Amino acid sequence: MLITYGDVNGFANAIIDLLKQESKLNTFSNNALEWSKNFDWEIASAETIKIMQRVIAEEK
């Protein structure tokens, strides 16, 4: 679902559409939950360390 930035009516219509279609809402909810798992502190810190190590190695 794509909504143009600043399109308040489009955003409202998208929400109404989700509320009317429970299966679509459930799909979006499940996908959002899975996506949110990418933002775990352990994963984020490990990725940050990898980037820092790569930058330090490139500077040598």
pLDDT, position 59: 86
Where is 16: in which H helix or E strand? helix 8-20
For residue range 3-60, list pLDDT tens digits in order: 999 999 999 999 999 999 999 999 999 999 999 988 889 988 999 999 999 999 998 7
- 18 neighbors 24 (Cβ within 8 angstroms): yes
Flag whether the pTM goes above 0.85: no
pLDDT, position 6: 96
Cβ partners under 8 Å of residue 18, min gap 6: 24, 25, 28
pLDDT, position 33: 95
Name the token pair of 59. Answer: 């500077």
pLDDT, position 39: 86
